[in-house]
Structure 1
Amino acid sequence: MSTPDQPTPLTPAEAEARRRRLAEVFGDVLPETPDEPRAQGRPDSWYEENRPPHHG
């Protein structure tokens, strides 16, 4: 039995049907690529060093 805190997990077939139904209703609104691709040539350390303070 599921509770509001722990919904019943979907089977792979149910998850696929749900995804298709959402795409049918709302369209394909989200891109398949990351929001902000990283600039070429910058190492990960640059992003860590230049992270704004409010991003932890």
Structure 2
Amino acid sequence: MTGDDVPEPEWARRKRLAEVFGDVLPDTTNDEREPEAPRQESSAEEWLRAQVPPHHG
């Protein structure tokens, strides 16, 4: 509630909470979305993976 005891509209409450906490849950789940294209590794990621010793799998 606001300072003058007027009930806060639901949309205003959601907006205020989103500003503080951000979006906690996505609007859709993975099974509702189109599959994403496989992510391309950058050259830096490739290099890092190449540096991992074999015994660290």
* Same fold by TM-score greater than 0.5: no
**How high is the TM-score relative to the length of structure 2?**
0.36
Larger Rg: 2
